[in-house]
Amino acid sequence: MFVSVPCLSRRARTVLLVPLLALLLSGCGVNDIPNYEEQAKAKWSEVLNQYQRRNDLIPNLVETVKGFAQQERTVLEAVTAARASATSIKVDASTITDPETFRKFQDSQAQLSGALGRLLAVSENYPALKSNENFLALQSQLEGTENRIAVARRDYIEAVRLYNTELVTFPGRIWKWILYGSKKPMEEFTVDDSVKQVPKVKFN
């Protein structure tokens, strides 16, 4: 006489299938969207850090130039105003999915870059300023910061490209539809890095 083996209960099947399903899904890109999102946010934070570093250098730079070239009031005021405008825009992690705020942030930083370029160009007319140790140190720090900004922007653009691509390609598009419907594309910088860099000033 044979004794039939009862089928697994629904609960037992669930206990067995859920870990297996999770394992299968982990290999199908289900976590790619949140992973790429976090990477892009981290790169954005680095962009903000480097722009803040530049903002912190500007007051000392303006004061140093003012000590040697007070007559360049228009240029000095333009830099101060551009810095005030740039720092007045409140940015955080949500900025990268807000086209309007992102555009304002990008435009304000571009205006500040232009104003700084004009300020450094003015220094060519003042030999005493060009040879001032404090100015030379600030100018060197500013150039280094501009390079860091360019690198941070490049890394951010690449991270955003991966994230945005994942949202619209298979299988990411499926996972967005199933699990991540609230995720939005992130904004990218639209002006080339070289346009935004402060021109290098060569000292004699």
CA 73-74-79 angle, to 5 degrees, is 95
pLDDT higher for 23 or 115? 115
Of 17 and 134, the structure prediction assigns the larger pLDDT to 134
Closest CA to 165 of 43, 34, 33, 35: 33
DSSP code of 114? H
pTM of the model: 0.81
Give the C-alpha separation, 36 to 33, whole Å: 5
pLDDT at position 47, please?
Answer: 98
Mean pLDDT for 155-175 is 95
pLDDT of residue 13: 62
Question: Would you state the pLDDT for residue 30?
Answer: 87
Distance CA 125, CA 65 (A): 11
Question: pLDDT class for 190, splitting at 50, 70, 90?
Answer: confident
In angstroms, the CA 157 to CA 145 distance is 18
pLDDT at 4 over 80: no
Lowest mean pLDDT among 105-114, 130-139, 192-201: 192-201
| Cα–Cα nearest to 194, from 141, 153, 151, 150 | 150
Tens of pLDDT, residue by residue over 101-129, are 999 999 999 999 999 999 999 988 999 99
Task: Residue count of the chain, please give it.
Answer: 204
**Is the Cβ–Cβ distance between 123 and 201 less than 8 Å?**
yes
